[in-house]
């Protein structure tokens, strides 16, 4: 059976996350329904990352096996058509080998977190960014963020319900940059713990507010204690931007 790699974009606001859940709308669920309407066969679609409720994606990756060898442009366009009116689009479909696995073949996952740093409420960006009214020091946030790079026990930034076998992860990138009113936090790693990115962003917020120093952030990491974490950033600002293979 030919295997296809899909690159997918979605607005996660109305979804209970990526993974199929009974009686709840999910991205994986509507995608599998679209595949069934296209091919007439119920087919499992495996994703590279299980984004949470409200989290968006500009570069989620998935794979599926189809009984028929369809042209890739036909697969892309047919799935996107059958996904309407859901805010999900298949950006690309590629033929890949049977050994490709969207989750286990990934070498790095890239996330973006968007903070809009202004006093007025969000109109167009509501549910797509985190508005912070108080002026933040993005440069201080970036300097502090570098203290989290490398291989560490990230228990402080791990959700209590996280099912990962180990809290030890290697963080390859954590950059903070201001572009006008927007502060962008970009991060990359082979894999992340549940809520790790949102927890790190919430802790970096304390640095930007001047309440924590870089040393305070490093101390919170070293404590390996969830109670030392800053407030968890909301899901609305988080995007799965890309997956590397």
Question: Catalytic pick from 11, 52, 98, 99?
Answer: 52
Backbone angles phi, psi at 79, to 5 degrees: -65, -45
DSSP string, 71-99: -HHHHHHHHHHHHTTSSEEEEEEEEE-TT
The rounded Cα 168 to chain-centroid distance in angstroms is: 19
Instruction: Confirm whether 153 is a catalytic residue.
Output: no
Cis-peptide into 85, omega within 30 deg:
yes
| Residue 102 contacts residue 57 (beta carbons within 8 Å) | no
| Element containing residue 27 per DSSP (H, E) | helix 27-39
- List, by residue number, the catalytic residues: 52
């Amino acid at each position: 059976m030919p295997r296809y790699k899909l690159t997918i974009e979605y607005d996660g606001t109305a979804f209970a996350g990526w993974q199929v859940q009974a009686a709840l709308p999910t991205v994986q669920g509507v995608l599998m329904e679209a595949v069934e309407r296209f091919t007439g066969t119920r087919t499992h679609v495996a994703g590279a990352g299980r984004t949470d409720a409200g989290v968006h994606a500009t570069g989620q990756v998935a794979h599926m096996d189809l009984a028929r060898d369809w042209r890739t442009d036909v697969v892309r366009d047919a799935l996107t058509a059958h996904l309407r009116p859901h805010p999900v689009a298949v950006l690309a479909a590629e033929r890949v080998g049977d050994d490709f696995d969207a989750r286990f073949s990934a070498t790095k996952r890239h996330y973006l977190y968007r903070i809009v740093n202004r006093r007025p409420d969000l109109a167009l960006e509501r549910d797509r960014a985190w508005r912070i009214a108080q002026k933040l020091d993005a440069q201080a946030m970036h300097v502090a963020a570098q203290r989290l790079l490398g291989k560490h026990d990230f228990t402080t930034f791990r959700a209590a319900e996280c099912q990962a076998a180990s809290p030890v992860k290697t963080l390859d990138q954590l950059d903070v940059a201001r572009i006008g009113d927007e502060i962008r936090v970009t991060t990359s790693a082979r894999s992340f713990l549940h809520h790790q990115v949102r927890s790190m962003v919430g802790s970096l917020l304390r640095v930007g507010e001047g309440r924590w120093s870089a040393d305070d952030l490093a101390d919170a990491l070293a404590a390996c204690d969830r109670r030392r974490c800053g407030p968890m950033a909301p899901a609305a600002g988080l995007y799965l931007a890309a997956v590397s293979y």
